[in-house]
Structure 1
Amino acid sequence: MLKQRVITALVLAAILLASLLNELAWPFSALTLVFITAAGWEWSRLNDAPGARAWLTGAAVAGGCVYAAQVVGLPVWASTVLDNGLNVHPHVHGWGMPLAGFHVPSGVWAFACLLWVLGGAVVLRYGNTHWKRVSDFWRRLLGLLLLVVAWLALVESKAQGLNFLLSVLCLVWAADIGAYFGGRALGRRKLAPSISPGKSWEGVWSGMVAVCVLAGLWMWADASLGVDSPSLYSRLWMGLGPLGMLLALMLLVGMSVVGDLFESLVKRQAGVKDSSQLLPGHGGVLDRIDALLPTLPLSLAVLTLCHA
């Protein structure tokens, strides 16, 4: 099992790295579109719609991503991006308009924030007893919406520059690693025992500490090293100040946990351990991106509050 996990991880890392380092937009867009389509297929199977309906859901996710990108003018296939430079762009007040230096209208991220914060609270509170009572059509539609928005946020982040994208991705990974080790060492109070018995409040706080340390180191790197774009942390520091950045990071870490718990709830309701076996040794695509689904769009949502 370990050998299989390592081989899969190395292959995926090599493919992802090649797409990230390519100056053209389409390798990364195409690769992530394949993964998000596979996640749509998994989501449908987890929600009582296997077979042809699962393939249809995956195709709908892919089509929704491409269509939405065209509507908002997101550079998916070409290398054309807006000038993001190394300066933090000012906040632009205007509903339905993107922030300066961005492509997707800020209202999309505000909607994603509302959906994840309020919807996530409702699902985690009542999901164990009510999730399966909702029609599989509406559950699949919700998954399609969440996956399309997450992909838009992923491509938008890549368009801002490699440093910006990595700073968002590493936030989730640092929170997960910090929560794992902090939870094992200090975990006493269970976070959501009916959904994920292994998670604890101490793990969540450990994840937040890990992200704060990461943010400090990353801002130092932004100021000291040659980077292609300001990181999420530098943008938040300059736009919201120290306290505002801390609150924003706490929100993002908390929502990464919500994403993880949400997928765990869906899998528990489906009676499975993994979303699929598409990634040998790692389970499915949803198992790898669950925490990213809310964090990617919400990281852009908090930037709409910046005024630097």
Structure 2
Amino acid sequence: MTSLRAERVTLGYGRTAVVHDVTLDLTEGGVGLIGESGSGKTTLARAFLGLLTPMSGNIWYGTQDLKKVDMRKFRGDVQPVFQAEALDPRMRVGSSVAEALPRADRHRVPDLLEQVGLTPDLATRRPHQLSGGQRQRVVIARALAVRPRLLILDEPTSALDVTVQAKILDLLAGLDTERLLITHNLAIVARLCRTSHVLFAGRVVESGGTADLLARPAHPYTLALREAVPKLGGEPPAARGRAEARPAGTGCPFRLRCPLAVPECERAPALREVAGRRVACHRAEDVLNA
């Protein structure tokens, strides 16, 4: 297994911190990062890829600080799967997939395209000649070309229709590759990740086994995310608290939205062990018992 670990990492752009004091391991069985847009998921993924240097804290690759590792070897072990817009519009599909391959291995391009459900004749086309779903599968094929040990996937099925999405999930689930999955889709996290971390305003607010965390949340934000998922034949999801409120600048960042907020929430909660997971909430036991 490829070991990547964040230890008390704070990340930002310029002098503005957007991820705060995060500690987590990319453990075996797949790890999910869950949260709304702006929660810091992609910023954290960029740090794990060595594309962003922490303002404080460390990213560890095995026993080495990521800043000191051989990046050529690292790029072979850890590959990103970004969204379809990451393809160079000037390059043909086959050239994009083959870019990381030695010349002697470029005969693998047709097999890689077929592995993600594309026909080899698409290798001669450019990205603008493909559908969004086809482009996303090319991105996945390109990442698989170097046989990585860990995939970091940023919304890998966001551009796919339901039937193609199912095929890609089957593909990812069947790969002998660890994965860090960034997504808004709780069903995909449940399918591909053994462990999940919920981020709000750049902070981890709940971490634990994915099945338990989604079945019985201990943080009001995790509960709100779960209840926002429409149910077939059911009533539309009801907003809880002030869904439009910005994160609080002091105390618990979720308190201005939280329907369970009390005066104690003006003091920032620390991550603590509750019912087999880690939760940053003063009222975690009340959420579990609700």
TM-score tier by shorter-chain length is: under 0.3
- Please report the TM-score for the alignment, with normalisation by the length of structure 2: 0.24
Q: Which has the larger radius of gyration?
A: 2
Higher relative contact order (CA 8 A, sep 6+): 1
Q: Which structure's residues are more often strand, by fraction?
A: 2
Q: Which structure's residues are more often helix, by fraction?
A: 1
